[in-house]
């Protein structure tokens, strides 16, 4: 087990002890042990090997043994026993935002609550509001948290959906009866979250394909098993549809089931305007539209053929959201969308100096490996103590290390020295102007007070944008997809302020953030807003997130020119200068 997994285990132990109402001193030992590990700058393995773990203040004898056992075996009997002693229903309550161990203990002890259902009931009866330390506001928050939880459970991050699809597609491909196969739906359109997976197969012999699909590993329920359509549900809740069509219908069906609904509506209107009827079965003269099984008069050997027949340029799946793509395709004015290869580096990345897992040298080597020209280091600032934010002295040391690294010539990529500076609650920045002045660039982000009202949050962010040292705004809305709603703000005002002050807004490519939302980018970029696609990397594999970032940028109609990190090292240096 690595350090971050162990940190999570210690937090879980602390929380479970709280739920059980154990001695607060005992509870605190686990939480403070977890915090100590979070701020440990040395490699945990080395510390354990050299027998020095117990010497670290905040880690006592009992904790030392548990951490060592977890590190070497990945298991812990104490944890298993503890888990078994807490009813499952109480652990479920931890998924409700705002409920921690102490509150769950009170709900259980005073109201006998032991599940989401009994908690919902107690809120609806008003009994939760009457508890000491709760009140009406907390009760409302719990109720809306439960509602969100249900809505969230019905969808999945694109990144996770992609991984499941990547396992299914080769299996389908390998079946001898399968002539062609594609993933469709929101997955193909690159939506930030995906409801269910949609697979489409061309075949004249669907039966064995349906058999295979409904017997895949990990399926917990087959919700439909038909001749041409089947649906299944996997462990963890992901669902998948499979449709099998004759090969001559394949591209019509692929277009139809890729969607979106809005796009399909516009496409059918467009077809009608030239006397054709478009459906999942084909494209045929309008008078034939009722005989849906009749052979289509138009043949399509690709999706391009369908668009061409309608007098349209090819619309890539990312753009099929009914945001004016059909009109643009009519005039041959679709944007030349950004490609992953256009990116030459990125700016919002963390190292071991704050809460990242890799050192400066390791991320510089990674940039070289990926063929990037530059990489920016933007570790947290001091107010983000939970993320081990740097104070002035540590930041100065880091800047010196970065300058020395660049001079050493050890890496071909250039490292920029930046900071992810907290935007404090009134819009002030976490470092003074003179400290910020020593940096190549500054990413300004909100990390606390996320629930401020719309006006306060809007002016707080605009104040940061007006600060001369700020280069770009990090993860503007603060949302965590399927976990935490975006903060309330007037995004149009913020976009206008960024443009007026020549500031960049980030498109954070972490699959949980994808923030600023793609729905805002088309209009914002037209007005002149510059975008930086940043992975917010805390470990080397996170640099792969740039793929999702580019997908989302494409959904926002962004081209190379709209994206700052397509610029060369020379151009970026000039911009920062």
- Residue 380 carries which DSSP code? B
Taking CB under 6 A as the rule, does residue 144 contact ligand DGT?
no
Q: Rounded to the nearest whole angstrom, what is the least distance from the CB of residue 231 to ligand DGT in the complex?
A: 10
- DSSP-assigned letter for residue 367: H
- Residue 20 makes CB contacts below 8 A (sequence gap 6+) with 85, 86, 105
Match 């404090």 to its residue by tokens.
Answer: 424
445 scored as a contact of Zn ion (CB under 5 A) = yes
Of 196 and 506, which CB lies nearer to ligand DGT in the complex structure? 196
Return the number of the residue (307 or 431) whose C-beta is nearest Zn ion: 431
Strands (E), 132-257: 156-157, 180-183, 193-194, 196-202, 219-225, 229-234, 239-245
Do residues 342 and 371 touch, judged by C-beta distance below 8 A? no
Contacting range for Zn ion; rule: CB under 5 A; set: 192-200, 225-233, 296-304, 442-450 = 442-450
Compute the least distance from the CB of residue 11 to ligand DGT, in Å.
Answer: 32
Nearer to ligand DGT, 193 or 534 (CB): 193
**Rounded distance, CA 156 to CA 195, Å?**
6
Min dist CB 312 to ligand DGT, Å, is: 18
User: Smallest gap, in angstroms, from Cβ of residue 430 to Zn ion?
Assistant: 12
Contact call for residue 198 and ligand DGT (CB under 6 A): yes
Residue 186 CA to residue 158 CA, distance in Å, equals 9
> Looking at 75-83, 172-180, 236-244, 360-368, which segment touches Ca ion (CB under 5 A)?
236-244
Among 182, 198, 379, 536, binds Ca ion (CB under 5 A): 198
Beta pairing class for 219-225 and 229-234? antiparallel
Quote the CA–CA distance of 258 and 262 in Å, as a whole number. Answer: 11
Instruction: Pick one of 185, 296, 317, 556: the residue that binds Ca ion (CB under 5 A).
Output: 185
Kindly state whether residue 190 participates in binding Ca ion, applying the rule CB under 5 A.
Answer: no
- Per CB under 6 A, does 196 bind ligand DGT? yes
Q: CA-to-CA distance for 58 and 37, rounded, in angstroms?
A: 9
Q: Contact with ligand DGT (CB under 6 A): which of 89, 145, 171, 195?
A: 195
Phi, psi of 193 (to 5 degrees): -130, 155
Please state, in angstroms and rounded to a whole number, the distance separating the CA atoms of residues 506 and 537: 14
Place of tokens 């007005």: 527
Q: Which residue is nearest to Zn ion (CB)?
A: 445
Residue nearest to ligand DGT (CB): 259
Site residues for ligand DGT, 264-293, by CB under 6 A, read 264
Beta bridge partners of 417: 377
Segment near Ca ion (CB under 5 A), from 183-191, 291-299, 311-319, 377-385?
183-191
261, interface contact from Zn ion, Ca ion, ligand DGT, none, CB < 5-8 Å by kind? ligand DGT
185 is a site residue for ligand DGT (CB under 6 A): yes
For residue 378, what are its two tokens? 């933007």
Distance CA 285, CA 281 (A): 13
* Least distance (Å) between residue 151 CB and ligand DGT: 12
Nearest Cα to Cα of residue 469 among 506, 442, 432, 496: 442
**Binding residue (CB under 6 A) for ligand DGT from 132, 261, 293, 331:** 261
Using the rule CB under 6 A, is 194 a contact of ligand DGT? yes
From the list Zn ion, Ca ion, ligand DGT, none, pick the one residue 445 interacts with, judged by a Cβ distance below 5 to 8 Å according to partner type: Zn ion
Task: Provide the pairing of β-strand 530-534 with 283-285.
Answer: unpaired
Instruction: Give the binding site for Zn ion (CB under 5 A).
Output: 445
Instruction: Give the binding site for ligand DGT (CB under 6 A).
Output: 185-186, 191, 194-196, 198, 256-257, 259-261, 264
């Amino acid at each position: 087990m690595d350090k971050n997994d162990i940190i999570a285990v210690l937090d879980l132990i602390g929380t479970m002890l709280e739920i059980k109402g154990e001695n607060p001193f005992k509870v605190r030992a686990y939480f403070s042990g977890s915090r100590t590990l979070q701020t440990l700058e040395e490699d945990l393995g080395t510390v354990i090997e050299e027998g020095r773990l117990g010497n670290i203040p905040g880690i006592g004898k009992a904790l030392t043994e548990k951490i060592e056992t977890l590190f070497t075996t990945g298991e812990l009997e104490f944890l298993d026993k503890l888990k078994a002693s807490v009813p499952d229903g109480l652990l479920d309550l931890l998924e409700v935002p705002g409920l921690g161990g102490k509150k769950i203990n009170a709900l259980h002890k005073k109201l006998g609550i032991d599940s989401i259902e009994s908690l919902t009931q107690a809120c609806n009866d008003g009994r939760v509001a009457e508890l000491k330390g709760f009140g009406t506001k907390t009760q409302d928050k719990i109720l809306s948290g439960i509602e969100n939880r249900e809505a969230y459970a019905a969808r999945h991050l694109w990144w996770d959906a992609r991984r499941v699809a990547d396992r299914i597609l080769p299996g389908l491909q390998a079946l001898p009866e399968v002539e062609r196969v594609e993933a469709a739906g929101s997955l193909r359109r690159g939506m930030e979250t995906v409801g269910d997976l949609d697979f489409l197969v061309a075949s004249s012999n669907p039966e064995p394909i349906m058999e295979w699909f409904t017997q895949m590993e990990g399926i917990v329920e087959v919700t439909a098993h038909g001749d041409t359509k089947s649906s299944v549900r996997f462990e963890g809740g992901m669902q998948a549809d499979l449709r099998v069509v004759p090969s001559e219908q394949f591209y019509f069906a692929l277009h139809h089931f890729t969607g979106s609904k809005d796009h399909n509506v516009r496409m059918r209107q467009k077809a009608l305007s030239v006397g054709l009827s478009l459906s999942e079965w084909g494209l045929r003269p309008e008078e034939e539209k009722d005989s849906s099984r009749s052979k289509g008069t138009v043949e399509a050997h690709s999706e391009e053929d369908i668009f061409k027949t309608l007098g349209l340029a090819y619309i890539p799946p990312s753009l099929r959201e009914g945001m004016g793509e059909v009109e643009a395709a009519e005039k041959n004015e679709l944007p030349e969308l950004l490609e992953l290869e256009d990116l030459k580096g990125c700016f919002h990345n963390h190292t071991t100096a704050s809460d990242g897992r890799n050192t400066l040298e390791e991320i510089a080597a990674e940039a070289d490996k990926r063929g990037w020209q530059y990489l920016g280091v933007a570790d947290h600032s001091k107010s983000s103590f939970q993320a081990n934010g740097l104070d002035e002295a540590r930041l100065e040391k880091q800047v010196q290390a970065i300058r020395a690294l660049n001079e050493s010539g050890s890496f071909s990529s250039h490292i920029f020295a930046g900071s992810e500076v907290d935007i404090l609650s009134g819009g002030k920045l976490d470092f003074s102007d003179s400290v910020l002045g020593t940096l190549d660039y500054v990413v300004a982000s909100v990390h606390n007070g996320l629930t401020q009202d719309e006006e306060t949050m809007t002016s707080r962010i605009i104040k940061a944008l007006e600060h001369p040292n700020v280069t770009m705004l990090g993860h503007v809305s603060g949302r965590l997809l399927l976990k935490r709603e975006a903060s309330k703000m007037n995004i149009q005002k913020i976009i206008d302020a960024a443009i007026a002050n020549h500031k960049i807004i980030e498109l954070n490519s972490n699959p949980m953030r994808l923030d600023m939302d793609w729905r805002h980018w088309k209009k914002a970029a037209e007005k002149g807003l510059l975008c930086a696609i940043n992975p917010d990397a805390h470990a080397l594999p996170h640099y792969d997130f740039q793929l999702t970032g580019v997908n989302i940028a494409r959904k926002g109609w962004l081209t190379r020119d709209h994206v700052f990190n397509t610029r060369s090292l020379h151009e970026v240096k000039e911009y920062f200068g």
